[in-house]
Chains A and B, each alone.
Chain A
Amino acid sequence: MSPLIGILQRIPAVVGFEWRRALTVSRMTWMVALMAFPPGLLMLVRMAEQNEPPVEVVAILVFILSPCVVCILGVFLWATPALSSELEGRSWVYLAVRPYGPIAVLLGKYIVAVSWTIPVGLVSSVLAVLVFMSQDTMKLLVAECGLVVLSCMAYSALFLLIGVVAPKKSMVAGIVYTIVFEVAFALIPAAVNMLTVQYRLRCLLVRWMGFDNNLVKDNPVILAYFGNESAMWHVGVLFGMTAFYLIAAAVVLRYREFTSSLETES
């Protein structure tokens, strides 16, 4: 049996098991709270603002709240502690001595993180967009929903990698990385922001909504923020980044030694 088939055979078991464990009152409450957060906030904005805001403003607000905050928070809490929770609970050893167990568990947990967060992000995006009904509602819905899916996929893989690289301080490392790279560096109008997921998502929002028609395309700062590549290019890069993060996490997991005790981890 090839390793790939061995891994793929075992992933459904992990997904099913982890999903059943996730169906708890606290998890569901957290899910509903995350879903309600963007539309709730925008409802307050709507009540305070008498005039209809331009579609650009609505698009950016929904983008920040749903594909960014909700999706990042959702996958962060699922994917980052994927390994550390097993190590701390000393349950890792039972998985580590199974054929292809560690990588199957890692990828299974990735799928759970994505499949748990995407519905949350989609519902929150749809409700948030519907708070400000306009002539571009359908276009905005499609764009935001597409961004939710891509955001969950890419960030989940990124946090999984961070969790595998720094299992002892996975949550702290995840927060620091997000603030430094996905917030601070992503806002720097320089080549470095092209390495962030945030940049790709931002560019896609602009492309899919057709906002780039109104941008000054020869302005270097605008170019650094929104690029001039096609939407397909950004989607391809996001898929590439996701694949890279997942493969890197699997390689680290394959070659690094994690014993049942963190104290003796090499």
Chain B
Amino acid sequence: MLLELQNVTRLYGTVIGVNDITLSLATGAHGLLGPNGAGKTTLLNLITGQLSPTIGSVRVLGMNSRTNPDLMKRFGYLPSSEGMYADVSAIEWVTYLTRIQGFNRPDAKRLALQALERVELTEHMHRNISTYSRGMRQRTRLAQAIAHEPELLILDEPFSGLDPVARHSMTELLDGWIKEGRSLIIASHVLHEIESLTKSFLLLGNGRLLASGSTNDMNELLADIPSEIRIRVNAPRDLAAELLNAGIVDSVRVSKDGELHITTTASLDVGRFLVKSAAGDRYVLSEVHATDDSMQSVFNSLMKIHRGAV
């Protein structure tokens, strides 16, 4: 088993970091999703043994996680914060950390070179880190996490601040990592960043595990959740009345600037209705915008389910 959490709660004084999480994950790739402040980093700190749970137990690869040297040999960690020394080169830094991992100097150097080659940084590895671009620094950080060839790679917001090219390169690299049969736990607040890497997700919100499962599980879970659609139309009140009469919306509201806001659990029906309306002469649709395409709204919906409000 890759990860076993049993009723894990972590408090920072009176603030709850994670709240009563119980889960088991088999080896493989898993995405940890949640908006900022959801408790992802706290959970990763618990998994990497930097924190101990206030209540409950955390076992990673069958071992107790808190400052466990045997476990630390088996995972690599890329934290969300940069925290690199600016006055050293990538090869010096990665070699140094690999030596602290427990390798002798020649082996650490060899592994560091391999890792930097893998992240395509060999050409620039002798330059000081202070001269690197954001993408190069991120690749250097990834190199220190994979240099000792761990069986589990734990990444906290690895795509943060990367341009599209660097994102693609990072995705390819991680995809290769997974195809080698190694495990991966990747935390992000953006679903599309990680859905190409894994089909297994954990959704965190306000420190709680809101949902877990595959993409299909998530879609099923979210199927009955009303989504919000904003419509700019020449006669918003008339259209609102027709939508209500058709019985395909849960609520309608016209904002001060004349924009029609609807919530519906039948988005497809609404879409068909709007296409039919636009085809006629009565309505001129200038804008249709689904506002619920962000992760934040998904989490808001899940939080409503969690509180029993939906």
Whether A and B are associated in the same complex: the answer reads yes
Taking Cβ atoms with an 8 Å cutoff, the residues of A that contact B are 3, 6, 9-10, 13-14, 17, 20-21, 24, 89-101, 104-105, 254, 257-261, 264, 266
How many B residues have CB within 8 A of the partner chain? 34
B83 near A99 (CB under 8 angstroms)? no
Please tell me if the beta carbons of A89 and B102 are within 8 angstroms of each other in the complex.
no
Please provide the chain B residues from 5 to 63 with a CB less than 8 Å away from any CB of chain A in the complex: 12, 17, 42, 45, 48-52
Pick the residue among A10, A95, A259 that contacts B45 (CB under 8 A). Answer: A259
Q: Is B197 an interface position by the 8 A CB rule?
A: no
A-B contacts, CB under 8 A, total: 87
Chain B 204-237 residues near chain A, CB threshold 8 A: none
Give B135-169 interface residues, CB cut-off 8 Å to A.
144
Complex interface: chain B residues within 8 A of A266 (CB) = 12, 51
Interface stretch, picked from B73-81, B276-284, B288-296, B299-307, is B73-81
- The distance in angstroms between the C-alpha atoms of A10 and B225, with both chains bound, is 54
A94 near B79 with CB under 8 A, answer yes
Which chain B residues border A92 with CB–CB below 8 Å? 83
**Interface: B92 (CB within 8 A):** yes
Q: When chains A and B are docked, how far (Å) is the Cα of A193 from the Cα of B101?
A: 43
CA distance A94 to B79 in the complex (A): 8
A–B Cβ pairs within 8 angstroms, 5 of them: A94-B83, A95-B97, A98-B100, A99-B70, A260-B83
CB-CB under 8 A from A6, the residues of chain B are 69, 102
Q: Do the beta carbons of A21 and B144 come within 8 Å of each other? A: no
State the B residues within 8 Å of A (CB).
12, 17, 42, 45, 48-52, 67, 69-70, 72-73, 75, 77, 79, 81-85, 87-88, 92, 96-97, 99-102, 105, 108, 144
| Cross-chain contact B69 with A96 (CB below 8 angstroms) | no
In the complex, A21 Cα to B87 Cα: how many Å?
7
In the complex, the chain B residue whose C-beta lies closest to that of A266 is B12
Between B75, B77, B99, B100, the greatest number of chain A beta carbons within 10 A of the residue's beta carbon is seen for B100
Report B134 CB to chain A, min CB distance, Å. Answer: 15
Residue in A9, A93, A258, A259 whose beta carbon sits within 8 Å of that of B77 in the complex: A93
Which residue from chain A places its CB closest to the CB of B71 in the assembled complex? A99
In the complex the two chains form, what is the Cα distance from A258 to B79 in whole Å? 14
Query: Chain A nearest CB: distance from B286 CB in Å?
Result: 46
Using A14-B100, A17-B92, A94-B79 as known contacts, list a sample of 15 further A-B pairs with CB atoms less than 8 Å apart, ordered by residue number in A: A3-B69, A13-B105, A13-B108, A17-B88, A21-B88, A90-B81, A92-B83, A94-B83, A98-B97, A98-B102, A99-B70, A100-B102, A101-B72, A257-B50, A259-B50
Q: Are B50 and A21 in contact (CB under 8 A)?
A: no
Q: Are A10 and B102 in contact (CB under 8 A)?
A: yes
Kindly list chain B residues whose C-beta atoms are within 8 Å of the C-beta of A99: 69-70, 72-73, 101-102
Q: Which residues of B contact A20 (CB under 8 A)?
A: 88, 92
Residues of chain B within 8 A of A90, CB atoms compared: 79, 81-83
Cα distance, A100 to B100, chains bound together (Å): 8
Instruction: Let me know if B12 and A93 touch, CB within 8 A.
Output: no
Which residue of B is nearest A13, CB measured? Answer: B99
Please indicate the chain B residues that have their CB under 8 angstroms from the CB of A14 in the complex.
100
Contacts of B72 in A (CB 8 A): 97-99, 101
Contact between B79 and A260 (Cβ–Cβ < 8 Å)?
A: yes
Known contacts A21-B87, A104-B100, A105-B100: does B81 contact A97 (CB below 8 Å)? no
Nearest CB in chain B: distance from A55 CB, A: 46
A94-B100 Cα distance, complex, nearest whole Å: 10
Known interface pairs A13-B96, A99-B73, A254-B67. Does A261 touch B102 (Cβ–Cβ under 8 Å)?
no
* Nearest Cβ on chain A to B302's Cβ, whole angstroms: 25
Q: Verify A91–B88 contact, CB threshold 8 A.
A: no
Question: Who on chain B is nearest to A86 by CB?
Answer: B83
Rounded to whole angstroms, the CA-CA distance of A170 and B105 in the bound complex is 33
Min CB gap B16→A, angstroms = 12
Cβ–Cβ < 8 Å partners of B69 in chain A: 3, 6, 99-100
Q: Determine the residue in chain A with the shortest Cβ distance to B87.
A: A21
Partner of B83, one of A10, A91, A264: A91
A10 touching B79, Cβ below 8 Å: no
In the complex, how many angstroms separate the beta carbon of A19 from the nearest chain B beta carbon? Answer: 12
B83 CB to nearest chain A CB (Å):
3
